[in-house]
């Protein structure tokens, strides 16, 4: 009997964004879960570029030597290699597929997707355009609005275009009505996001957001039931069960997402059958509108009978206790099976 060749999987993790630590944790847990009977798996840290001493973004750790912790975490059968080793077509580390576990800039924004396209290596998740659009909250809202999908009212400002007359900004934000959410337009995990209840807090919130991006978005704060819907598939995507999020704070912030006990996830969400179907339909519509593939998570808020899309995340958290894996488990899809599906979808798209 001929032994079936294992699929060589590179789990791309770490990177230089402010979500580096989250990515390393995600990558480690994916490597632990991948079936060794099916896959030859190893980690790739995209921060380990040849000769690179590029500073890791604010909030991501002290310096590039932080990868030493990842090497320790991955000690054993799993290796952590620099990106250069997957480029060489003759390398023993040239993968059949890349499972992207990067978060934030240079991971979710189309950068690494374009790099892998040039190398001709299939990868999990959305392509360059959908990744770039979904990472940019302002562009996401414009695309969704064009397809009739509701999002909270907002205004955006870009430093390079000289939009920074504070009196002008205050007047534009006043039209939305307080409270508002101030966010970097191209950042994930609610990093740099502030809820502003009165005009007096606007200036400080803008400065906080500017630490992460030159483009900011100020959005109407909508109070309601926070929902999220995972979507899987390429040409025939389907929605997972709806998850209701009960944050331990005023809104679903960084601490609510990642701190132990920071939030409660209720699956299935406490919705009527009609609203459950609506949330899933809206999630699918947003997924298709942006041109996503493979996997995404669509965050929605239900308020006053309306459903508003807050964000589309093309690389959602992928630990066993993350939102999409939890919803998949509720649908009878184990974490191992979910990873199998994502790899299969990537190879299917790469043919």
> For residue range 261-290, what is the model confidence (pLDDT) as tens digits?
567 999 999 999 999 999 999 999 999 999
Query: Of 255-259, 268-272, 293-297, 333-337, where does mean pLDDT reach its minimum?
Result: 255-259
Residue 276 has a pLDDT of 98
- Pairwise CA distance, residues 121 & 113, whole Å: 9
Kindly state the tokens that stand for 120: 């001709």
User: pLDDT by residue (tens digit) across 228-261?
Assistant: 999 999 999 999 999 999 987 665 444 545 455 5
SS3 sequence of the chain: CCCCCCEEEEEEECCCCCCHHHHHHHHHHHHHHCCCCCEEEEEEECCCCCCCCCCCCCCCCCCHHHHHHHHHHCCCCCCEEECHHHHCCCCCCCCCEEEECCCCCCCCCCHHHHHHHHHCCCECCCCHHHHHHHHCHHHHHHHHHHCCCCCCCEEEEEHHHCCCCHHHHHHHHHHHCCCEEEEECCCCCCCCCEEECCHHHHHHHHHHHHCCCCEEEEEECCCCEEEEEEEEECCCCEECCCEEEEECCCCCCHHHHHCCCCEEEECCCCCCHHHHHHHHHHHHHHHHHHCCCEEEEEEEEEECCEEEEEEEECCCCCCCCCHHHHHHHHCCCCHHHHHHHHHHHHHHHHC
> Per mean pLDDT, which range of 28-32, 167-171, 197-201 is the poorest?
167-171
Residue 177 scores a pLDDT above 70:
yes
Cα separation, 212 vs 155, whole angstroms: 18
Query: CB neighbours (10 Å) of residue 36?
Result: 10
Going from the N-terminus, what domains does the chain have, and what CATH number goes with each? 7-123 (3.40.50.20), 133-150+222-344 (3.30.470.20), 154-220 (3.30.1490.20)
- Which residues are known to be catalytic? 19, 189, 258, 297, 299, 311, 313, 317
**Could you tell me the two tokens for 50?**
């040849």
- Distance between CA atoms of residues 188 and 191, nearest Å: 6
Average pLDDT rounded to a whole number, residues 4-10: 91
Interior/surface letters 196-234, b for 16+ CB within 10 angstroms, e for the rest = beeeebbeebbebbbebbebbbbbbbbeebbbbbbbbbe
| From 79-93, 137-151, 187-201, 262-276, the region with the lowest mean pLDDT | 79-93
Taking the model in full, what pTM does it have? 0.87
Q: What is the rounded distance in angstroms from the CA atom of residue 8 to the CA atom of residue 151?
A: 40
Rounded to whole angstroms, what are the CA distances from 99 to 43, 71, 92, 223, 300? 9, 18, 17, 36, 26
pLDDT, position 350: 75
> Minimal CA–CA distance to 42: which of 65, 76, 69?
76
């Amino acid at each position: 009997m001929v032994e079936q060749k294992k699929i060589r999987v590179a789990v791309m993790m770490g990177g230089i964004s402010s979500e580096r630590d989250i990515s390393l944790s995600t990558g480690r847990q994916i490597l632990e879960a991948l079936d060794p009977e099916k896959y030859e798996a190893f980690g790739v840290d995209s921060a380990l570029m040849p000769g690179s001493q590029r500073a890791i973004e604010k909030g991501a750790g002290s310096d590039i030597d932080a990868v030493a912790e990842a090497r320790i975490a991955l000690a054993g059968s799993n290796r952590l290699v620099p990106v250069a080793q997957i480029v060489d077509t003759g390398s023993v580390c040239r993968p059949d597929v890349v499972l992207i576990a990067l978060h934030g800039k240079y991971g979710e924004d189309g950068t690494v997707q374009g790099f892998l396209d040039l190398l001709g290596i299939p990868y999990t998740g959305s392509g360059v355009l959908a990744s770039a659009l979904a990472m940019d909250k302002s562009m996401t809202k414009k695309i969704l609005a064009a397809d009739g999908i509701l999002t909270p009212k907002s205004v955006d400002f870009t430093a390079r275009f000289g939009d920074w007359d504070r009196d002008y900004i205050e007047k534009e934000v006043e039209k939305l009505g307080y409270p508002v959410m101030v966010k970097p337009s191209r950042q994930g995990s609610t990093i740099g996001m502030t809820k502003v209840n009165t005009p007096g807090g606007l200036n400080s919130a803008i400065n906080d957001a500017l630490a992460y991006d030159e483009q900011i978005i100020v959005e109407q704060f909508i109070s309601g039931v926070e929902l999220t819907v995972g979507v899987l598939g390429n040409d025939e995507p389907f929605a997972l069960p709806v998850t209701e999020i009960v944050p331990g704070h005023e809104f679903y912030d960084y601490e609510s997402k990642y701190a132990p006990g920071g939030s409660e996830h209720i699956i299935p969400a406490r919705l009527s059958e009609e609203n459950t179907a609506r949330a899933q339909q809206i999630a699918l519509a947003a997924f298709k509108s942006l041109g996503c593939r493979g996997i995404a998570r669509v965050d929605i808020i239900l308020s006053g009978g309306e459903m508003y899309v807050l964000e589309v995340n093309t690389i959602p958290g992928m630990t066993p206790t993350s939102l999409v894996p939890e919803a998949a488990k509720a649908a009878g899809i184990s974490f191992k099976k979910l990873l199998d599906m994502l790899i299969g979808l990537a190879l299917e798209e790469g043919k």
